[in-house]
Amino acid sequence: MEVKCNFGTITSKSLAGKFYSCVIKHQIIPEDQDLIKFIGEHEHEKTNNDVQCLKFINCLITKVPQGLTKVFPNLTSLNVSESKLKKIVKNDLIEYKNLKRFICELNEIEFLPGDLFEGFKDLEWIGFWKNKLKVIEPNILDGLKKLKLLNLSKNVNYNKLFAIYPNYKSTITLDAVRDHLYEKFFSVDRQTAVNFMDRLQHQASNSAQPKLPSKSSLSVDLTAFIQNDTNKDFKVVIGSQEFPIHKFLLAARSPTLAELLKNNPQAEDLKLSDVSAEIFEIILKFLYTDELPGDDGTDFLQIFAAAGKLKIKELENYAADKVIDQIDGINAIDIFRLGCKYKNYEMKQKAVNKIKEKYPKMNFMD
């Protein structure tokens, strides 16, 4: 397969340097990179051996491209952005251990495993800006002694950019960044979190349970672990019903519950009010599998309210769309109130329009 590319020298203000680069845009990139032939004209006296930076921009990519170091043996920077990439694992990056910069922005990645950059001794820049990150294993930073910048901002459940001391003055140390990740995704002390991840990886590697490709990257990687109830270290109590769950999952996927656990890290259970057991079962299924509820009699108004309370944004937005489709003269006032409470302008406005249809003389103040 032939892939059109542009060769040229790129000046990067953020990286403070010039890099001879190969840029590929708007291409479909197959997983088998041995079939690819890069078509483009080099600058004068330049060859593939001079390429330091390889950029895939706005392509269709299902896996981090493989075998590229055979074509460009002196790569120091790999950029896979705006390419709908959903998953990334350690084996995808084995050949790129000499990289100084790895950028993977504007994609759809949800989970970063702790061993992703194992063996990367020279990595200085990591960018996962504007993906869909929900869980990051904090040991992902182990061994990255030269790291200068970590960009995890504009994600579903995380919005941080770290400039690492001593490369930058008056910033944060690598250990402090690691502690921050532990606090965010494992609302327990670090050693407990380390032991927890070790158990998780051990359970997953020794399980004969097949992984289901139809599930999200997060649920695929954790399937074997989450199906074993003996590993669940927390429970949510609603009325007389108890729901066993993993504490780290609550901390990772619900900012509201994460804050509660942060304030009381030794808690073993959590009592929820204003959320029915039936609705929480739907929420729990989404937390573990990303499976969204169907239209078969589901009370999306309650799901929207519960997801809004727990700040589970993706489920909240999905339920909001369903609620908006169901607005009528009977439920419009209740939906208007919820739209105001959770600051959903579209829901609020469409409810107002429906109320005005039924009560044309009613006045609304913004």
Inform me whether the pLDDT recorded for 365 exceeds 60: no
**Residue 223 is part of a domain; what is its CATH number?**
3.30.710.10
Buried b (16+ CB within 10 A) or exposed e, 273-298: eebeeebbebbeebbbbbeebeeeeb
Domain around 274:
209-326
Angstrom distance (rounded) from CA 183 to CA 229: 24
Residue 338 lies in a domain: no
pLDDT in tens, 182-207: 877 765 555 555 555 555 555 545 54
Cβ of 133: how many Cβ atoms within 10 Å?
Answer: 25
φ, ψ for residue 321, nearest 5 deg: -60, -40
Does 145 share its domain with 30? yes
Q: Residue 319 in contact with residue 338, Cβ under 8 Å?
A: no
**Residue 19 is part of a domain; what is its CATH number?**
3.80.10.10
Structure confidence at residue 22 as a pLDDT band (50, 70, 90): very high
> Which among 160, 195, 230 is the end of a domain?
195
Q: Residue 138 has what pLDDT?
A: 83
Residue 352, token pair as written in the block: 């107002």
Residue 63 lies in a domain: yes
Inform me whether the pLDDT recorded for 259 exceeds 50: yes
Q: Residue 210 has what pLDDT?
A: 36
Average pLDDT over the chain, rounded to an integer: 81
Inform me whether the pLDDT recorded for 363 exceeds 80: no
Q: Residue 58 has what pLDDT?
A: 92
Q: Residue 341 has what pLDDT?
A: 84
Number of domains in the chain: 2
Collapsing DSSP to helix, strand or coil, 136 comes out as: strand
Instruction: Return the residue matching tokens 């001794």.
Output: 121
Does 191 share its domain with 248? no
Does 303 share its domain with 159? no
For residues 281-303, average pLDDT: 82
The one-letter amino acid at 114: G
Q: Residue 88 has what pLDDT?
A: 93
Collapsing DSSP to helix, strand or coil, 7 comes out as: strand
Angstrom distance (rounded) from CA 310 to CA 342: 11
Residue 138 lies in a domain: yes
Structure confidence at residue 361 as a pLDDT band (50, 70, 90): low
Q: Residue 187 has what pLDDT?
A: 56
Does 99 share its domain with 152? yes
Closest CA to 100 of 22, 175, 180, 19: 19
Does 190 share its domain with 234? no
Residue 97 lies in a domain: yes
Q: Residue 190 has what pLDDT?
A: 54
Burial of residue 204 (number of CB atoms within 10 Å: 0-12, 13-18, 19+): middle
> Which among 132, 166, 195 is the end of a domain?
195
Does 159 share its domain with 10? yes
Does 295 share its domain with 171? no
Residue 149 lies in a domain: yes
For residues 25-31, average pLDDT: 82
Inform me whether the pLDDT recorded for 229 exceeds 70: no
Does 19 share its domain with 122? yes
Q: Residue 207 has what pLDDT?
A: 46
Does 173 share its domain with 51? yes
Inform me whether the pLDDT recorded for 7 exceeds 90: yes
